Amino acid sequence: MANVVVVGAQWGDEGKGKLVDWLSERADVVARFQGGHNAGHTLVIDGKVYKLSLLPSGIVRGGKLSVIGNGVVLDPWHLISEIEKLRGQGVEITTENLIIAENAPLILPLHGELDRARESQTDSAKIGTTGRGIGPAYEDKVGRRAIRVADLADSATLETRVDRLLTHHDALRRGLGMEPIDRLALLAQLAEIAPQVLPYAKPVWKVMNDACRAGKRILFEGAQGALLDIDFGTYPFVTSSNVIAGQAATGVGVGPGAIDFVLGIVKAYTTRVGEGPFPAELFDADGQRLGERGHEFGTVTGRKRRCGWFDAALVRQTCATSGMSGIALTKLDVLDGFNTLKICVAYELDGERLEYLPTAADQQARCKPIYEEMAGWSDTTAGARSWAELPAGAIKYVRRIEELIQCPVALLSTSPEREDTILVTDPFAD
C-alpha cells in the first residue's frame, strides 16, 4: 500500500486539517512527525467542529492508530487537556488508538516562560512565535539536555536530567532578569503528570516499521508550512524544526523508502501570521476582502493573518524542496467574484528578475513581486465536487498554477466540508 506525506506548501494555515481528515479515513495509521501544539487544525465533520493542535488529525476517526513521533516536542499538560476536551466531544482516545514516542522531548513550563520573555524584549528580538515554548524545547533537544518522555518513568534519571537542564536555564533567566526555576516544584509537576502520559509511550520507530512491513497505509502529517522550515524557510522568522517532507522519515523513525507520495497543501492565495517577509502581501481592499472572505484568523493564536495574491515562485520552491508528487489546492471559493486575479510569478531584485526567493534577509526585504493578471469568474466554486461544476475561469486559474509551480493538482477543496473535494489523483494508489 502507498504511504502519503502531507505538508503545507506555504506559511501554514493552508487547510491541512480537512485534507488530512479526508485522507485519514482511508489510512490505517496517522503520524505527526514534527512541531508542537503551536499549529492548529480545524476539522469539520458532519457539522461538528474539532480543533486540534497536538493530536494527529486521525484521532477523530475510529479504527485508526494515531502516532506522535519523536520529531514532535510534547507539552504533556496540553496533551492531557486536549485529550479530555476531545473526549468531552465524544471522541474515544485510549492507549490502543494513540501512542507517543518514548524519545519525544518534553515542553516544560520554563520553555514557554523563556519564549514569552524573549518575545517581550526589543523589536529586533521578535520572531512572532506563539509563545508556547516550542523553540526553546527544540534548543534543549539539540543541546542534549532535554527531558524526554521515557525519562518520566525513573525518578533518579529525571532528577539528573532536570539538574542538567536548570544549570543552563537558570543562567539564561538571570540574563533576562527572571527568577530562578523552583526545582522541587518542577519535579512535583512532572511526577504528577507522568502517570497520565506514560501509558501512551511506546517505541514508535518499531511500531511504524512493523506497520510498513504489514502493508498498512500510513499518513504522515506535518504541522506548519514549508516556508517556516528551519533550513528552507524565511529565516529567522521560521519554526524550530524541519517542516519539509524529508522530516517525515526521521520524525517517526522510518527510512525514506517508506514514503510513496508527497502531497503539498496549497491555498489558492497566500497568507502569513506573524513577522517576516511577504513579497506578495496586499495592503489594499483586495487584501481586506481575501481576509474577510477566507476568515483569516489563526486557530491557535486568533491573530489576523496577512493576506496576498498567490505566490507561484514560493510554492514552486517548496514543491522542489519537499519533492512534491502533487498538490491539494484549497479555498478556491474565496476568489469567487473577483473581476481580476493576480499571480506572483517571479521577483524583481535591484532591477533584475529572480525566479525564486533569495536566502539573504536583506535581499528578501527588497524583492518586489512580478505579477501576471488573469480574468476572474462570477459564478461560485463553493461546494463543487467535479471539474464540470467549476466555472471556466476557475479551471484556467488552476491549470495556470500547475504550470507555474511545476507540480500537478491532485485534489481540489471547494469548502470546509470534507465531501466538497475534487479528486484528480489518488495519493494512496499504488
Q: Which of 37, 41, 111, 169 is catalytic?
A: 41
Buried b (16+ CB within 10 A) or exposed e, 285-306: ebbebbbebbebebbbbeeebb
Return the axis-axis angle of helices 109-119 and 134-142, rounded to nearest 10°: 110
Read off φ and ψ for residue 45, nearest 5 degrees: -125, 115
Cα–Cα nearest to 178, from 115, 106, 131, 126: 115
Its sign, for the CA torsion 320, 322, 324, 328, is: negative
Give the position of cell 510498513: 212
Residue 299 CB partners (closer than 8 Å, separation 6+): 13, 40, 41, 42, 51, 53
d(CA 148, CA 119): 26
Residue 370 CB partners (closer than 8 Å, separation 6+): 344, 345, 346, 347, 348, 353
Cell representation of residue 202: 511506546
Q: What share of the chain is helix, strand, coil (3-state, %, to 5)?
A: 35, 20, 40
Read off φ and ψ for residue 105, nearest 5 degrees: -75, 150
d(CA 3, CA 9): 19
349 with 367: CB under 8 angstroms? yes
Q: Which of 13, 115, 311, 420 is catalytic?
A: 13
396 with 404: CB under 8 angstroms? no
Read off φ and ψ for residue 91, nearest 5 degrees: -85, 130
- On the 0-12 / 13-18 / 19+ scale of CB atoms within 10 A, 263 is buried
Read off φ and ψ for residue 84, nearest 5 degrees: -65, -40
Cα–Cα nearest to 267, from 11, 58, 33: 11
- On the 0-12 / 13-18 / 19+ scale of CB atoms within 10 A, 354 is middle
- On the 0-12 / 13-18 / 19+ scale of CB atoms within 10 A, 126 is middle
Catalytic (active site) residue 13: yes
Which residues are marked as active site? 13, 41
